[in-house]
Amino acid sequence: MKKQIKVVLLVFTVLTILLMACGACVNNSPSPSQLPYVEIQQYNGHDLSPISDVQDVSIKGPQIVDISTYKLTVNGLVDTPTDFTYDEVLANTSYTKEVVLNCVEGWSADILWQGVLLSDLFDKVKVQPEANTVIFYAVDGYTTSLPLQTIIDKKMILAYKENGVVLIQKDGYPFILVAEDKLGYKWCKWINRIELSSDSSYRGYWESNGYSNDADVSN
């Protein structure tokens, strides 16, 4: 009789363990919740390029910018030189633009950019009448420039998002200049200073290495 109780207890224990184990395996096996794919893939009825099409050919590789200490300096021929925080830049009206980035190395990427108008920043610092050139400086020491009038006419933006996601590090976080209709080397990434100048003979990094200062994309 005692033996029978022992067997019953044993069977009960084994069953309980099996049940618990089974419960555990049921609990641990829900399929992981799918996060929606965040990158915008289509716009106005056609495909955009995936962000991964934007290659990195930068002079020193992707730069890491600490946003807590980051400042965007806008100075030179302006009445009120200003150091903007990331949030202060983002507080401006936001615009989206689909623009193709064409690199001289033969690749291109059709991306939906989102950012602020450079002319809105210029209004804030009050650009002086002698200014005719805008020089962009980046944390990797890269520089490039454009005529002030071109930036205004083409309504160029400083982008902080690409295909709906915050600009990734290799693409210039926190800001890339969307230099519409201009070759890739005008698309300054990791910008930390914008200088208003009257030096129209200024030549940036690639421009002083033999690349055209106009940098027009030939269609």
Ligand X SMILES: Nc1nc2c(c(=O)[nH]1)N[C@H]1C(S)=C(S)[C@@H](COP(=O)(O)O)O[C@H]1N2
Q: Which chain residues interact with ligand X by CB under 6 A?
A: 54-59, 103, 138, 140, 142, 171, 184-185, 187-190
Residue 152 interacts with Mo ion (CB under 5 A): yes or no: no
In the complex, the smallest distance separating the C-beta of residue 185 from Mo ion, rounded to whole angstroms, is: 5
Contacts with Mo ion by CB under 5 A: the residue count is 3
Q: Are 191 and 118 in contact (CB under 8 A)?
A: no
Site string for Mo ion, 8-47 (x = CB under 5 A): ----------------------------------------
CA distances for 218 relative to 97, 104, 144, 182, angstroms: 20, 11, 19, 9
In the complex, the smallest distance separating the C-beta of residue 58 from Mo ion, rounded to whole angstroms, is: 9
Q: Are 77 and 197 in contact (CB under 8 A)?
A: yes
In the complex, the smallest distance separating the C-beta of residue 154 from ligand X, rounded to whole angstroms, is: 17
Q: Are 211 and 144 in contact (CB under 8 A)?
A: no
Choice between 184 and 204, CB closer to Mo ion: 184
Cβ atoms within 10 Å, residue 189: 26
Q: Euclidean distance between the first and final Cα of the chain, in Å?
A: 96
Provide the token pair at 50: 């995936």
Residue 103 interacts with Mo ion (CB under 5 A): yes or no: yes
Query: Which partner, Mo ion, ligand X, none, binds residue 58 by CB below 5 to 8 Å per kind?
Result: ligand X
Provide the token pair at 90: 């983002």
CA distances for 209 relative to 60, 80, 96, 205, 212, angstroms: 16, 33, 32, 7, 9
Choice between 21 and 59, CB closer to ligand X: 59
Residue 172 interacts with Mo ion (CB under 5 A): yes or no: no
Choices 24-32, 33-41, 45-53, 179-187 (CB under 5 A): range interacting with Mo ion: 179-187
Residue 184 interacts with Mo ion (CB under 5 A): yes or no: yes
In the complex, the smallest distance separating the C-beta of residue 206 from Mo ion, rounded to whole angstroms, is: 7
How far apart are the C-alpha atoms of 59 and 12, rounded to whole Å?
Answer: 70
Choice between 95 and 205, CB closer to Mo ion: 205
**Contact residues for Mo ion (CB under 5 A)?**
103, 184-185
